[in-house]
Amino acid sequence: MKIFNSMTRRKEEFKPIHEGKVGIYACGPTVYDYFHIGNARPFITFDVLRRQLEREGYEVTFVQNFTDIDDKMIKRANEEGITVKELADRFIKEYYTDAKALGIRPATVHPRATEHISQIIHLVQTLIDNGHAYVGKTGDVYYRVSAFPGYGKLSGQNVEDREMGASERLDVETDKENPADFVLWKAQKPGEPAWESPWGMGRPGWHIECSAMSMTYLGDTFDIHCGGHDLLFPHHENEIAQSEGATGKPYVHYWMHNGFINIDNQKMSKSLGNFFTVRDISKEFDLEAVRMFMLGAHYRSPINFSRDQIVSANASLQRLYTARDQMLFLKKNAQSRALSDEEKQLVERLAGYEKRFDDAMDDDLNTADAIGAIFEEVKDLNSNLNSDSSLEVIEAALASFKGMTDVLGLVQRQPTGEDDIPEEIRKMAEERAAARKEKNWKRSDELRDAIKAAGYILEDTPQGQKIRKNM
């Protein structure tokens, strides 16, 4: 597999630190609200990265954190009159609901920042002891950027260009040695949650949390760190400075960052009224269609989110479900026998489609081309599988199709069985079949539309009508 490494700004052959094993850290959400459509892109992208590495035989340890202490969290908890922990518990639960609907598998570990305070304090103390950090007059602890010559190597930005991190913007910081220095530990303010530390009661800064959690589960040096492009600077730049400043070792071998999402060709922002949470979108669209949309473009490319794009992605997804369900339908009555010469050739072509899929995925996770390989296979299968096909070739086709769609996290819903179709829907379908036989096209269309309005799709196949629940 080749990965575009944000550190070197080029594609590199992926070589794990430990043979057969991969450690990945993906920045997770700050759990003060439902996560938005921009958050969904890295969650989906790096879920697929993990799945492809597992397809290739790697044992993957995938760590995705929850930031559960932060200025935004404190502000919202105070507004609601609840504790920060109560707020975090609520939105971590909601994260799992939306992530499941998007087809995102739970991480190997989902650490919370507040459950790693001792590790954070130890890391901060190490940085103080070796001169990379200092305690300010008010009890805040700052990272001394001038002590780390490599600062800026990920982003290419000079120290003078450094902007304040999102979790620091609310602070009035007056006792820094240098304006570029950033906070590691924040002294307690009235009404804020706090923990005991050698520097007084306080709480961690945002950047140090990820350094402590990633190294706790993956070691001082690990394989892949990923997240949205907006995190590259200052968050990931600061993680490197902290981690390498503490250990003297390389922090991460490969950095991966996904591109931005625009909404109807405009940058997403609350002020423009185009800020959508995944929960908002789920009220209008099936979230598997959102996943299909996200994977239809290369992860590093910017993409434009619009309702038309989701409708189009859903139509493509339905084609995949139709292909899967048709194969399952044929399998029910297929006979076991030796493969014909034509079927042997089809099986060989299946291997070719899988190779095209894997080649695309190994080229810096090119999901767009990988999806193209699946649709080429579907076209071939639709033309060459029928009621005379052997059980063996149908099973080979299903296995090939499922192997690829599983990596992308698509076509994961179980087929709707006949027993799951309500009686009134079946009766309408029978009446429509009779209307078509009588060439009463007006009545046929009316019944088809009524079935669709009830949440079911009626498909005409060479083997007769098929009914399935709409997604």
Query: CA-to-CA distance for 265 and 277, rounded, in angstroms?
Result: 17
In this predicted model, what pLDDT tens digit does every residue of 182-217 receive, in sequence order?
A: 999 999 999 899 999 999 999 999 999 999 999 999
pLDDT of residue 48: 98
In this predicted model, what pLDDT tens digit does every residue of 406-428 receive, in sequence order?
A: 999 999 998 866 556 888 888 88
Torsion on CA atoms 421, 425, 428, 430, rounded to nearest 10: 10
Query: CA-to-CA distance for 428 and 448, rounded, in angstroms?
Result: 8
- Topology adopted by domain 2-258: Rossmann fold (3.40.50)
pLDDT of residue 463: 53
Tokens of 42: 């890295």
Give the residue from 226, 241, 174 showing the smallest Cα distance to 24: 226
Domain boundaries, the chain: 2-258, 327-408, 418-469
In this predicted model, what pLDDT tens digit does every residue of 104-160 receive, in sequence order?
A: 999 999 999 999 999 999 999 999 999 999 999 999 999 999 999 999 999 998 766
DSSP annotation of 33 reads S
Query: CA-to-CA distance for 84 and 78, rounded, in angstroms?
Result: 8
- Do the beta carbons of residue 147 and residue 131 sit within 8 Å? yes
